[in-house]
Chain A
Amino acid sequence: MADFLGEFEQLILFAVLHLGDGASGVTVRDEIETRTGRAISAGAVYTALERLEGRGFVSSWFGDPTPARGGRRKRHFRIEPDGQRALRRAYDSLQRMAQGVAEKLEPSR
């Protein structure tokens, strides 16, 4: 189960992919909120990102401090090949499971 991804982790990895170079705690949070409407805290995002980093799925580095951040440095995140593979697998399994039944989820049925 080392490469199993929870739903929240999948959302975060997708957001990191979307954001490219601009991925940081708050932008990931905002991305998820804009796309899914789920309001989550930056702290929870960081907890998940740290766990993903521990498993080698993402990596992070610090940028330079800026005045807008109260003189604090920014932590950037990037997806790693292991992370891409895991996300691919998770997405594939989801699609395979949905095959043939996806239309049953339509509200009109």
Chain B
Amino acid sequence: MKPPIVPRALLSMLLREPIREALAGDLAEGFNARVAQQGRWRASRWYWSQALRSIAARWSPAAPLASRRWSGGVWKDVRYGARTLRRAPGFSLVAIATLGLGIGGTTAAFSVLDAVLLRPLPYVEPERLVAIGHPDADTGYPTNLGFLTFRDWRARTRAFEDAAAMRSWLATITDGGEPERVPAVRVSWNFFRLLGVAPALGRDFRPEEDRPEAWRVVLLSDGLWRRRFGADPSIVGGTIRIHGRPYLVAGVMPSSFEPLISARYYSPAEIWAPIGYDDTTNDACRSCQHLSAFARLRPGISVDAARAELVSVQDAMRREFPADYGSTTATLRPLRDQLLGDVRPMLFVLFGAVSAVLLIGCANLAGLLLARGAGRERELAVRSALGASGGRLVRQLLTEAALLSALGGVVGSLLAAAGARALTIAAPVDVPRIAATGFDVRVLAFSLAVTVLAGLAFGLVPALRAWSGNPSESLHSGPRSTHDATRWSRRALVAGEVAVAIVLLAGAGLMIRTMGNLLGVDPGFDPRRVLTVDLAFVGPPYAEDPAVFATQQRILEGVRALPGVEAAAFASQIPLGGNMDTWGLHAEGHPLYGTADAPSVERYGVTPDYFKVMRIPLKRGRLLTEVDRADAPRVIVVGETAARQVWPGQDPIGKRGRMPGVKGDWYTVVGIVGDVRHYELAAPPTMQMYVGQPHITDSFVTLTVRTAGDPLSVAAAVRAIVFREAPGVAPAAATTLERLVSKSVQQRRFAMLVLAVFAAIALTLAALGLYGTISYMVARRGREFGVRMALGARRADIARLVLSEGAQLVAAGLVVGGLGAVMLTRLMDSLLYGVKPSDPVTLGAILVIVAAASIAAQIVPLIRATSTDPATALHAE
């Protein structure tokens, strides 16, 4: 019985004669004795331990220097290997290109994965940071909360070392020149302290500045400070004007500070100011859920323990304030997951797809080397007969593999640098930290590791094969002897390739189905040819609602007069715009009237032409019109889902509801319109209602313009009108509804593209592998086919022989790949829409594609086999 192959091979490779001969023999003898006495398993264990310890002893510094040298020069092997590779330039180029692409692709994908997901958050002890809030109804993840809730949680939860909150804000800098709209947030005074970050210049916020009368203090980002203020250090301690009011500049954040949190919740902030609430602030109520909040856990407190305590704190508060909370609970989630969890499936899909291609590439190379190894049997046999040891030959083959993978690694590293850039451009824009992607030491280390692993992956199997072959046998029998084991290895490799390709195809197929489903979703509005521009009417001229409303009207008049404009309207928010503005609707006679659990309805504050711009269809009743002026009765239009859920089994038209809150005004329903998809195309419609701007005037609005031609062609003219009619207001960059729709599916589109591209590559590689194996089989058995035909076999019999070989491989690949696909595609469940991982259409399509590809791959060898001329084949030798 032979001892385990891996330690045996290691012994042969790492030990020098004459020790190797005696030691390997001793250990083999000891192994066999132990097999008889103690059984195979214990004998193997003994052999492993002896082999490894013996190698360690021989290579330890205490061992004589002579014994530590490799047997024969590695350098000699390298030169020999290089010569061998040069002699087969076609093979070498294909191998290096395959490896280069595989290693380059994996490294590029890793550099993105590393920059976005793997690096710790750039804060002090980030693993202790959590997001806290009321749980989202669908995901269970923390969402917004009210100020008083935050204040009480912070005070009562002992698991928290500290906690800080954040709210959206917008800062329009009005210091001379054109007003500039700058993304901004307001934060608790201790927000930066919570993260463990301090301003690079100036000072942090002070507790007394987080008060209603004292919060006009700002910290600037390094980028804004350089861009807008010329990196002038004297700005610190001075004032800048925002919305026409003076703000004290307390400091400038370091250039390394990444606003990951505000980017996730609002937009990447460049200005920070204190929240400045106290208990009496209007927006501070418990049900005014517009803050996001974060906490730092005390050292040693687990996330689960902290969550349990927070839930019990909220339970107590629910009993204290039943009217405010109803059944609302609390939750927390590691900040890292909260910030990066959304992009995780997409990046794993990317990385998995690229790795699968590398795997297939390695399998192909292993197959090629095996075939070449079989062709080189005689060469190896001669060398072995001339005294080269088995270990020596293994090392020779491994050296060749290492040379190939090293060259592939160099090509791959060059490709990775370019590939990473291409990925960051192709990837969805809102992937956090993706800009930090680069080729650094970590990526280099990864690339090296992949190179070594790839070399081992495709070099080891052929090397071990060559080693365990019996030299005298192949010397005697010539090149035609089919080594069953070699053949088996190649077949297993090809079946494996088919399996991996099928997993990728399944992923691609599911994503294509998902995209088809998504693009088939009717969003409830017509996104074609609509321009959108966000505006904020903030500052002294806009303190009163009528002034804001009047400015809105002047802008609309100006825009409507532009050539090519069909309709224009303002809305407090638009679908897929990334905003959320749900109000409690207290419907008269509703069982939940007056409670905290009253229906939460998405509110759109609009001007009458909004329905015309968006082409939202009227179902019943009437739309909002110019008649619904500020002094006219207050009316609302509701979406179909809201109509059905708030007034089940009744006609909502003519019914009344109170907003905001039970003390608010009564609004009468005058019409029902179609639902729109507000959050994403994949999410079912929510409850929606429309209120006229004359009744609730919004300062933060989106200007929507339907045009006859390209909507962006009127963007400049629209901006000019805003500057003319609304002094101190900076319009945001104009975009289109179509872009918003496209942005809402960009993660899935990216996943689909990645999977489709890599599935195509994988299928091609697998087909090449199949082609190689079958061709090889045909070449080796050419003589046999000739004999068969001479003995009366028909071409169809030969064809059946060849095809059955391929069919077996593909069938094995299909079974393994099918199982793998069902298991692995479940991981991308969150990316799918309207299709299940075990979708029969997708699986059926894959079957057809794989069958077609495998037939295509076998045509050439099949023709060659069936056109074998018996006489030629028999005379060949």
Closest Cβ of chain A to B337, distance in Å, is 48
Q: In the complex, which residues of chain A have a beta carbon less than 8 angstroms from the beta carbon of B28?
A: 68-70, 72
Q: In the complex, which residues of chain B have a beta carbon less than 8 angstroms from the beta carbon of A70?
A: 2-3, 24-25, 28
Q: Is the C-beta of B823 less than 8 angstroms from some C-beta in chain A?
A: no
Say yes or no: B55 contacts A43, CB within 8 Å.
Answer: yes
Q: Is the C-beta of A46 less than 8 angstroms from some C-beta in chain B?
A: yes
Say yes or no: B24 contacts A41, CB within 8 Å.
Answer: no
Q: Is the C-beta of A88 less than 8 angstroms from some C-beta in chain B?
A: no
Say yes or no: A47 contacts B29, CB within 8 Å.
Answer: no
Closest Cβ of chain A to B106, distance in Å, is 37
Q: Is the C-beta of B839 less than 8 angstroms from some C-beta in chain A?
A: no
Q: Is the C-beta of B26 less than 8 angstroms from some C-beta in chain A?
A: yes
Given the known interface contacts A41-B54, A43-B55, the answer about A24 and B26 at a Cβ–Cβ threshold of 8 Å is yes
Of B23, B25, B27, B56, most buried by chain A (CB within 10 Å of CB) is: B25
The one of B33, B54, B63, B67 in contact with A42, judged by C-beta atoms closer than 8 angstroms, is B54
Q: Is the C-beta of B53 less than 8 angstroms from some C-beta in chain A?
A: yes
Assembled-state Cα–Cα distance A68/B27 (Å): 10
Say yes or no: A47 contacts B63, CB within 8 Å.
Answer: yes
Assembled-state Cα–Cα distance A75/B18 (Å): 9
Q: Is the C-beta of B520 less than 8 angstroms from some C-beta in chain A?
A: no
Interface positions, chain B 65-87, Cβ under 8 Å from A, are 67
Say yes or no: B23 contacts A42, CB within 8 Å.
Answer: yes
Interface positions, chain A 53-75, Cβ under 8 Å from B, are 54, 62, 65-66, 68-70, 72-75
Given the known interface contacts A24-B22, A43-B23, A50-B19, the answer about A68 and B57 at a Cβ–Cβ threshold of 8 Å is no
Closest Cβ of chain A to B37, distance in Å, is 12
Q: In the complex, which residues of chain B have a beta carbon less than 8 angstroms from the beta carbon of A50?
A: 19, 64, 67
Number of A-B contacts (CB under 8 A): 86
Say yes or no: A51 contacts B22, CB within 8 Å.
Answer: no
Q: Is the C-beta of A98 less than 8 angstroms from some C-beta in chain B?
A: no
Assembled-state Cα–Cα distance A51/B25 (Å): 20
The one of A26, A43, A51, A65 in contact with B56, judged by C-beta atoms closer than 8 angstroms, is A43
Q: What is the number of residues of chain B that contact chain A, defined by CB distance less than 8 Å?
A: 29
Say yes or no: A69 contacts B25, CB within 8 Å.
Answer: yes
Say yes or no: B30 contacts A26, CB within 8 Å.
Answer: yes
Q: Is the C-beta of B58 less than 8 angstroms from some C-beta in chain A?
A: yes
Say yes or no: A75 contacts B21, CB within 8 Å.
Answer: yes
Say yes or no: A44 contacts B57, CB within 8 Å.
Answer: yes
Closest Cβ of chain A to B679, distance in Å, is 65
Q: Is the C-beta of B32 less than 8 angstroms from some C-beta in chain A?
A: yes
Given the known interface contacts A26-B27, A26-B30, A43-B58, the answer about A75 and B53 at a Cβ–Cβ threshold of 8 Å is no
Q: In the complex, which residues of chain B have a beta carbon less than 8 angstroms from the beta carbon of A83?
A: none
Assembled-state Cα–Cα distance A66/B24 (Å): 12
Closest chain B residue to A77, Cβ basis = B22
Assembled-state Cα–Cα distance A6/B439 (Å): 53
The one of A41, A65, A69, A73 in contact with B57, judged by C-beta atoms closer than 8 angstroms, is A41
Q: In the complex, which residues of chain B have a beta carbon less than 8 angstroms from the beta carbon of A41?
A: 49-50, 53-54, 56-57
Of A65, A70, A75, most buried by chain B (CB within 10 Å of CB) is: A70
Closest Cβ of chain A to B32, distance in Å, is 5
Assembled-state Cα–Cα distance A43/B56 (Å): 8
Say yes or no: A25 contacts B64, CB within 8 Å.
Answer: no
Interface positions, chain B 1-37, Cβ under 8 Å from A, are 2-3, 15, 18-19, 21-30, 32-33
Interface of B with A (CB < 8 Å)? 2-3, 15, 18-19, 21-30, 32-33, 49-50, 53-58, 62-64, 67
Known: A43-B15, A65-B25. 17 other contacts (CB 8 A): A24-B22, A24-B26, A25-B23, A25-B26, A26-B27, A41-B54, A42-B23, A43-B23, A43-B56, A43-B58, A54-B64, A66-B29, A70-B24, A70-B28, A72-B22, A73-B21, A75-B21
Would you list the 10 A-B pairs with minimal beta carbon distance, nearest first? A43-B54, A72-B25, A75-B22, A41-B53, A26-B26, A69-B25, A43-B57, A44-B57, A70-B28, A25-B26
A to B CB contacts below 8 Å, 5 in the list: A24-B26, A42-B23, A43-B19, A43-B55, A73-B21
Interface of A with B (CB < 8 Å)? 24-26, 30, 41-44, 46-47, 50-51, 54, 62, 65-66, 68-70, 72-75
